[in-house]
Structure 1
């Protein structure tokens, strides 16, 4: 049998192990870590893994189809690539690698405002199919300009991030002096020297930067002042007054990402938004919060007929996607899995990871006799975690 991926790395854990050896420690810890004591990071994973599915072995089965319609577009699988900040720091050119793989596999790619490729470049690669996630600017002028650029780039979906009213307290990043560029302490220099392939690729691709934000940065700005610029330029705290004018100006679909409660879901519906992504930022913001799968079931059951309910955070594999969709999600997104893949395998990492997860999900569907992804809830045994 010919597998559609590199059989040396048949799991996301294998990719994570390879990535850890291949990129500097400060970059890996930024990707891999949560906040505070990592309690919610681990809770995300353990709670999803408690979900059990029921197989129907003696039922008539004509095959399983992963194709999923979302906002009028039919995707080849019910998962996409979540927005990740500082992608080019973890592996040079990774946003472009993942965007290209997403296009080839016909799944959505979401570009973060604070990724290392521009809206225009990713739109070109994805032929206008990339979604864009907005960190809310403090100034209306800047907000309007970024949204106008996303519209001109034909982004079909605008994602509003609501779970970063403050930056998460992340001890590893503080110790590592993580910034753009990373602080060149003696320890960080040694880490770079220990990963020569990463260093060479970074040299060839050029120093990573926040490409979407370049037009708004002062000319010749010392990059050591970038943190202060970000704090002054963006306010992550959203409310109804900030969302309403965006809904008015944006003609495409709008999704609110970071929803973790029924109250915020109701507000999203009242504001006329098209979807929500139940998320806790990968466990990177509120260590004392719930895992994502806990509120998902109730939110999907209560509001799924009124707004499209999706989920990210804690999802790593095909079985995780199946568990999440059985609990009511209409679509799923993953960030770390794909970044492990591209950090481990470079330009082959996007294709490999998507192919691997598709294979895993197909196997689960065949095993439990689920013909369409909409049928996953029929196989749910338990929903309480």
Structure 2
């Protein structure tokens, strides 16, 4: 399968599956427990139907948005995700470059494989730092100060991961950093030698944001152990309020799903919230972000920028979220599969397709700009 044959999320997923060893593909593709929430994330969009208007004289399409003070040329951004250089040796470099070319925001994770500083040099577009709250308060302060020095525009604290989700696909293959594979996992690497050659002929794998803080070279510190042993399960609203004051700029909570929590985020001075269930990778059986969007926008949308992610595979999904009041929509697996399949050209093609879909669908809806998308355009099945 060639990149030019990819026309949708599902095409990129198939291409990535053909290239990646099973344990790595499953790490991207998998979710918690029975993966019910993972499936619900996309299915939720199907409960909502678009009602187009015609003969509106739609000429030029303006799909730009402003979210948390950042001007984006399109209403989607590349959500920060971990371990990207495992999927393709370019990793976050490819994502930063592709996002920069498309004039949109991207993020680097605490578990990113390229440094904040290098990503900042690659793209002049808005950059998010996705941050986990560690038991070591000194580490938290040091990482925030580093982000300031790197010129990060938005601090994004993930609040739904005080412990790791039960990702059974990873348990079956022994996926960990460094690898501590089961026999079944090793066999899956053996049948994809091209990935191994690529991995071994580029610079060694590392987690630059955690350099000097975490020893990833001794023993098998799995992702689940990182979450279980290093992150603070006692994270409270008071802790976050202190971080918001210390950061002193655009501060976003990722993983908010209830109206009460959205209101608390406003009270402590956050400028944005991301409605997210971590791609279905944490609490299985939870509702989707799209399910919660209207209620939360109604409660706090006039006081804080409401964003959502999870299950977005089409331009029509984006338009539905924007019609309900989301200021922007985060993409995760949507760009990770093309990254794994083809590096920077893959991410660029995926963003090209999304931009084309949004533009075409806005024309078909009779909307020339994002602010013309309203709930009057929606019906529920």
Q: Report if TM-score (shorter chain) is over 0.5.
A: yes
Residue by residue over 1:127-157, the C-alpha shift from the partner in whole angstroms, topping out at 9 and shown as x without a partner, is 4732101100112111100000000001000
1:22 is the counterpart of 2:10? no
1:145 is the counterpart of 2:142? yes
> In structure 2, which of residues 302, 305, 329 is the aligned counterpart of residue 305 of structure 1?
302
Q: How many residues align?
A: 379
Tell me the C-alpha RMSD between the 2 structures. Answer: 1.9
Residue by residue over 1:131-190, the C-alpha shift from the partner in whole angstroms, topping out at 9 and shown as x without a partner, is 101100112111100000000001000001111122101111111111112224333332
Please say if residues 175 and 181 of structure 2, whose CA atoms lie closer than 8 Å, have aligned partners that are also in contact.
Answer: no
**Greater displacement, 274-283 / 84-93:** 84-93
**Greater displacement, 312-321 / 328-337:** 312-321
Residue by residue over 1:107-131, the C-alpha shift from the partner in whole angstroms, topping out at 9 and shown as x without a partner, is 1011111122222222222247321
Q: CA deviation at 1:361?
A: 0.8
Between the aligned partners of 2:273 and 2:262, the Cα distance in structure 1 is 7
The 4+ residue runs of structure 1 with deviation greater than 4 A are 226-230
Between the aligned partners of 1:93 and 1:234, the Cα distance in structure 2 is 28
Please say if residues 83 and 112 of structure 1, whose CA atoms lie closer than 8 Å, have aligned partners that are also in contact.
Answer: yes
User: For residue 323 of structure 2, what is the aligned residue in structure 1?
Assistant: 326
**Greater displacement, 198-207 / 257-266:** 198-207
User: For residue 154 of structure 1, what is the aligned residue in structure 2?
Assistant: 151
Counterparts of 1:137-216 in structure 2, within 5 Å, are 137-216=134-213
Alpha carbons of 1:97 and 1:371: their partners in 2 closer, same or farther (altered >3 Å)?
same
> In structure 2, which of residues 268, 281, 284 is the aligned counterpart of residue 284 of structure 1?
281
Q: CA deviation at 1:206?
A: 3.3
Between the aligned partners of 1:208 and 1:317, the Cα distance in structure 2 is 32
SS at match of 2:5: coil
Structure 2 residue ranges without an equivalent (≥5): none
Between the aligned partners of 1:370 and 1:80, the Cα distance in structure 2 is 21
1:269 is the counterpart of 2:271? no
Between the aligned partners of 2:8 and 2:222, the Cα distance in structure 1 is 37
1:358 is the counterpart of 2:355? yes
SS at match of 1:245: helix
Q: CA deviation at 1:221?
A: 4.2
Residue by residue over 1:306-359, the C-alpha shift from the partner in whole angstroms, topping out at 9 and shown as x without a partner, is 110000011122111111111211101011010011111223111111111101
1:89 is the counterpart of 2:86? yes
User: For residue 77 of structure 1, what is the aligned residue in structure 2?
Assistant: 74
Structure 1 residue ranges without an equivalent (≥5): none
1:108 is the counterpart of 2:108? no
1:370 is the counterpart of 2:360? no
User: For residue 126 of structure 1, what is the aligned residue in structure 2?
Assistant: 123
SS at match of 1:338: helix
> What TM-score comes out, normalization by structure 2 length?
0.94
Q: CA deviation at 1:13?
A: 0.7
Alpha carbons of 1:57 and 1:296: their partners in 2 closer, same or farther (altered >3 Å)?
same
Please say if residues 159 and 254 of structure 2, whose CA atoms lie closer than 8 Å, have aligned partners that are also in contact.
Answer: yes
> In structure 2, which of residues 36, 54, 60 is the aligned counterpart of residue 63 of structure 1?
60
User: For residue 250 of structure 1, what is the aligned residue in structure 2?
Assistant: 247
